[in-house]
Amino acid sequence: MTHVIRSPFIFYILLLLLSPRGTNRSWLLNVSNINNHKTERARFERVGFFYFKPNTPMKDHLQTKDWGLGLKGHVIIAGPCSAETPEQIEKVCLDMKKENMIPDIFRAGIWKPRTRPGSFEGIGEEGLTWMEIVRNHLNIPITTEVGNAAHVELALKHKVDVLWIGARTTVNPFAVQEIADALRGVDIPVMVKNPMNPDLQLWIGALERLHDVGIHKLAAIHRGFSDSYDKRFRNKPNWSMPIHLKREWKGMEVINDPSHIVGNREGLLETAQRAINFGLDGLMIETHHDPDNAWSDAKQQVTPAQLKQLLSQIDFKDTLGSENPSERLNDLRAAVDHMDDQLLDLLQERFSMIDQIGAYKREHHLTVFQADRWKFVMESRTEKGVSKNLSEKFMKELLYCIHEESVKRQEKQLREAAAIKK
């Protein structure tokens, strides 16, 4: 049985089968916006449940190594969420120097898109003058977020080296177009964070708007997606998005921003490592000399010393193996890894539903095992599985296994509740 359960493909199929009739399963595939229409679909090559665009031509954009900023390998971007005071900027720089933790690019937010008014909304233009401090101490390029044409004008006036477009801006094509128009004829690299919602076309669209006005030094940033249900993340990562972006726009680098994905310090390493495992091209990590007292995003920032420690723990090697697999094999493996992640997330959610059903049964003095329901689940799923070319034996084994675990969980709940009563 274990060999059955270990197979990611089988898990995946099962979960597709188990999702109730009418469920929108496109999120499992994460290709909703490319496989909606038959005509669209024809342009894609199907591999298992994934659609790939074969031989996507490389658009004539320039990768980070060609930005003229001396970047190579994985790009490390670090610096505070927000520029607060000149002393703060200086202290971060000095601590970076002391730790010999000099990033490739220094980040600092000057205009902060805060969810609610009343919190610190960025220091504004004055903060740009403090970037000289960074140049003097560290002599590295600086980057900041721009959200409109006025920001662009000021960032260019103060010679910011790289711009980024934030998640709340990428979501709005009017705003992105305004920024693109303000950048027409300017030679500056721009990084585009994913939109708040997992819409690959919106993300690509923002990159295209910039490309169309002649901004060719481009990169993307994966900072996760707003998800009010899943509390494990501030912004839930969706690793298939960068993979599909890379498939659709060959050579497009995607930097990962674990700070805004995780929202705390503890989970940074795991998420950063996963990003590297998936083949992402760099990390943007919020860094502050005194994180607890930061004016924004205090919970997720790390000190330069912590950043150094974190980066030293990351395995930047190609985890897809030393046998030098073909790009095709890498892609397929990355897709399978992603599916496993999705499957485990979905299994976790399914068992959390099972626990809720268990609580209901307990409240209503029902037995854990309900024969009619079990019969229905077995028969309907097996029938569905068989119609999808899965063997009856396999379907039954798999369903027994899942059902057994569900019953055990609910029975444990009953025992625990009884123990509390005593």
Site residues for ligand PEP per CB under 6 A: 81, 109, 113, 166-168, 193, 223, 260
Residue among 13, 81, 140, 152 that touches Mn ion (CB under 5 A): 81
The answer to whether the CB of 161 falls within 8 A of the CB of 70 is no
Q: According to the binding rule CB under 5 A, does residue 253 interact with Mn ion?
A: no
How, if at all, do strands 45-47 and 50-52 pair?
antiparallel
- Least distance to ligand PEP from the beta carbon of 280, Å? 15
- Least distance to Mn ion from the beta carbon of 115, Å? 11
How far is residue 330's CA from residue 278's CA, in Å, rounded to a whole number? Answer: 10
With contacts defined by CB under 5 A, name the span among 81-89, 195-203, 233-241, 411-419 that binds Mn ion. Answer: 81-89
The answer to whether the CB of 169 falls within 8 A of the CB of 198 is no
Tokens 């919106």 sit on residue: 202
With contacts defined by CB under 5 A, name the span among 16-24, 181-189, 293-301, 379-387 that binds Mn ion. Answer: 293-301
How far is residue 30's CA from residue 20's CA, in Å, rounded to a whole number? Answer: 18
DSSP 59: P
* DSSP state letters, 252-271: --EEE-HHHHH-SSTTHHHH
| Rounded (5°) CA angle 124-128-133 | 140
Displacement of CA 226 from its chain's centroid (Å): 10
CB closer to Mn ion, 161 vs 297: 297
- Least distance to ligand PEP from the beta carbon of 55, Å? 32
- Least distance to ligand PEP from the beta carbon of 226, Å? 9
135 makes contact, choosing from Mn ion, ligand PEP, none, with CB < 5 to 8 Å by partner type, with none
Rounded-to-5 percentages of helix, strand, coil across the chain: 50, 10, 40
* DSSP state letters, 271-322: HHHHHHHTT--EEEEEB-SSGGG-SS-TTT-B-HHHHHHHHHHS--S-TT-T
How far is residue 10's CA from residue 16's CA, in Å, rounded to a whole number? Answer: 10
With contacts defined by CB under 5 A, name the span among 79-87, 215-223, 246-254, 414-422 that binds Mn ion. Answer: 79-87
- Least distance to Mn ion from the beta carbon of 284, Å? 10
Could you report how far apart the first and last alpha carbons of the chain are, in Å? Answer: 38
Residue among 95, 145, 297, 337 that touches Mn ion (CB under 5 A): 297
With contacts defined by CB under 5 A, name the span among 74-82, 176-184, 204-212, 271-279 that binds Mn ion. Answer: 74-82
193 makes contact, choosing from ligand PEP, Mn ion, none, with CB < 5 to 8 Å by partner type, with ligand PEP
- Least distance to ligand PEP from the beta carbon of 77, Å? 10
- Least distance to ligand PEP from the beta carbon of 41, Å? 32
166 makes contact, choosing from ligand PEP, Mn ion, none, with CB < 5 to 8 Å by partner type, with ligand PEP
With contacts defined by CB under 5 A, name the span among 21-29, 292-300, 310-318, 322-330 that binds Mn ion. Answer: 292-300
Point out which residues bind Mn ion (CB under 5 A).
Answer: 81, 297
